[in-house]
Chain A
C-alpha cells in the first residue's frame, strides 16, 4: 500500500463529490453509445492498460546491466521465481491442506484450523482464497530465496533480516488495510441487504430513483469509510512493532501478517474484472427469466416522460400514487399489464 501516494486520492473521497450527472457527463461521448456494462468493462481494460503503460515508463529508466537495475527490470526475479515456484508448488499445495512445509532447514507449520479457514475462503470468497495463496507463496518464495543455496550459492550474500522485515512491515499494513476493507464490504453487504428488503416493500410505489440515489450515496459513504479506515491504519503502521531477530519466529510472523499481502493492485483489478463478468451474467439471467416467464416479449425502452404520465402521479405530499393494474419492473424496462397501452407504445415506437 502506498500511504503517502494514496493520500491525496483518498482524501478527495471525503471532499464534496461532484453530482453523479456531472461525473457522467465527463464520460467521453463515444462511450455513451455503448451500454453501461460495456463502458465499465472498457474502463476496467483501460485500467489494466494504464498499469502496463506506467510500468513501461518506469522501465525506460532502468536501462542498465548492474545487479540493481537487472532486479528492477524483473527478468532475473521472474526466472528464479518461476523455477522456485515450480519446485515449491506441490509442496505448497500439500502444506496448505494443513501440515508442515519443509524448505531445507526452514520449516513452516500451517495448523489444521488455519488450513480449514483458508479452505473455507475457497468456497465463500474464491477471490480472497486465490489472493491468500498467491501472496503467501510469493512471500514464502522471497523468504527462502536467501535461505536456499540456489544454483549452489546463496542469492543474496548480504541479505539481512531488516530487508525482509522492512518489506513485510509494508505488507502488514496492506494486510490490515485489506482486512479493514473486508469489514467495510461486510457492512456494505448488510446495508445493501436492508436496502433490498426495503426495496421489496416499495416496489409498487415507484421510488426506485430515490432508492438508487440512496444506494449510490451508500456506495460513496463506504468509500469515505474506507478512507477513514486507511487513516486509522496509517496511524497503526506508525506504531507497528517489528520483531527483533531473536524473537523472529517465522511461523507465527508469516501466519500473522501474510494472510493478505502486497499484490493489492492485482486484487483490485481482479475484483473489478470479475464484477464485470458478474454484471453480464446477471443481466443475461434476469432478461432470460423475464423472457421465459413471458414478462417481456420484446425489450422496450420506455421514455421517462411516458412512464410518469401513464403509470401514476405524486399526491400533494409527494407520495407516489401508482396504478396497480400495471406491473412495474424498472424505470427503463417495464411492461404494462395493460396490453393495449403497450401495443400502442410499440406502434408509436415503430
Chain B
C-alpha cells in the first residue's frame, strides 16, 4: 500500500472538506491496509464520477452561455455582464 499516494489523493480530491482532510490524514497511518484501500477506492470512484460529470456539464453550460450571449439585447447584455463573467469563473472553479 503506497501511503504517500493515498495521502496525495486525500489532499487533492474535492470529496472532503479541509477539516475532514486533516482528520483523514491523521488517521490514515493507524488504519488497516484494508481500510486504506477502501478509502482510496472511494476517492477514485468520486474523482472519476466528478470529472466525467463536470466535463459534460461544463460543455452544456458553455453551449448555453454562447447561445444566450448571442441572443441578448444590448441592455440585457450590459446588465448581465458581471453574471456572465462569474459563470466563466464559476465553471473553472468546478
Residue numbers of A with Cβ under 8 A of B are 1-6, 8-9, 12, 17, 20, 23-24, 26-27, 36-37, 39-40, 43-44, 46-47, 50-51, 53-55, 57-64, 66-69, 71-72, 74, 77, 81, 135, 138-139, 141-142, 145-146, 156, 158-160, 163-164, 166-171, 178, 181-182, 184-185, 188-189, 192-193, 196, 199-200, 203, 208-209, 212-213, 215-216, 219-220, 222-223, 226, 261-265, 267-272, 274-275, 278-279, 282-283, 285-286, 289, 329-334
- Are A54 and B11 in contact, CB atoms less than 8 angstroms apart? no
In the complex, chain A residues whose CB is within 8 Å of the CB of B75: 286, 289, 329
Contacts of B45-94 to chain A: CB distance below 8 A: 45-47, 49-51, 53-55, 57-94
- Are B11 and A166 in contact, CB atoms less than 8 angstroms apart? yes
Q: Beyond A2-B13, A268-B94, is A54–B83 a contact (Cβ under 8 Å)?
A: no
- Are B53 and A53 in contact, CB atoms less than 8 angstroms apart? yes
In the complex, chain B residues whose CB is within 8 Å of the CB of A66: 31-32, 35
In the complex, chain A residues whose CB is within 8 Å of the CB of B57: 43, 46-47, 50
Q: Beyond A269-B94, A278-B82, is A58–B42 a contact (Cβ under 8 Å)?
A: yes
In the complex, chain A residues whose CB is within 8 Å of the CB of B29: 158
Residue numbers of B with Cβ under 8 A of A are 7, 11-32, 35-36, 38-39, 41-43, 45-47, 49-51, 53-55, 57-94
Question: Whose C-beta in chain B lies nearest to the C-beta of A50?
Answer: B53
In the complex, chain B residues whose CB is within 8 Å of the CB of A199: 74, 77-78
- B10 to A: closest C-beta gap in Å: 8
Sample of 15 further A-B pairs with CB below 8 A, known A50-B49, A50-B53, A63-B38: A9-B55, A17-B62, A58-B42, A66-B32, A69-B35, A69-B39, A71-B24, A142-B18, A145-B23, A156-B27, A168-B18, A170-B12, A196-B77, A223-B92, A333-B73
- Are A5 and B51 in contact, CB atoms less than 8 angstroms apart? yes
- Are A72 and B86 in contact, CB atoms less than 8 angstroms apart? no
In the complex, chain A residues whose CB is within 8 Å of the CB of B15: 54-55, 58
- Are B53 and A36 in contact, CB atoms less than 8 angstroms apart? no
Q: Beyond A2-B12, A68-B31, is A163–B22 a contact (Cβ under 8 Å)?
A: yes
Question: Whose C-beta in chain A lies nearest to the C-beta of B42?
Answer: A61
Q: List 20 A-B contacts (CB under 8 A).
A: A23-B66, A24-B67, A40-B61, A54-B46, A68-B30, A74-B20, A141-B19, A142-B18, A145-B22, A164-B22, A166-B25, A181-B89, A192-B85, A209-B70, A215-B84, A262-B18, A264-B93, A271-B86, A282-B80, A285-B79
- Are B50 and A51 in contact, CB atoms less than 8 angstroms apart? yes
C-alpha spacing A58/B17, complex, angstroms: 14
- B91 to A: closest C-beta gap in Å: 7
In the complex, chain A residues whose CB is within 8 Å of the CB of B58: 9
In the complex, chain B residues whose CB is within 8 Å of the CB of A141: 19
C-alpha spacing A5/B46, complex, angstroms: 11
Question: Whose C-beta in chain B lies nearest to the C-beta of A6?
Answer: B51
C-alpha spacing A39/B87, complex, angstroms: 14
- Most B CB within 10 A of own CB, among A55, A169, A196, A267: A55
C-alpha spacing A77/B17, complex, angstroms: 10
- Are A268 and B90 in contact, CB atoms less than 8 angstroms apart? yes
- Are B76 and A283 in contact, CB atoms less than 8 angstroms apart? yes
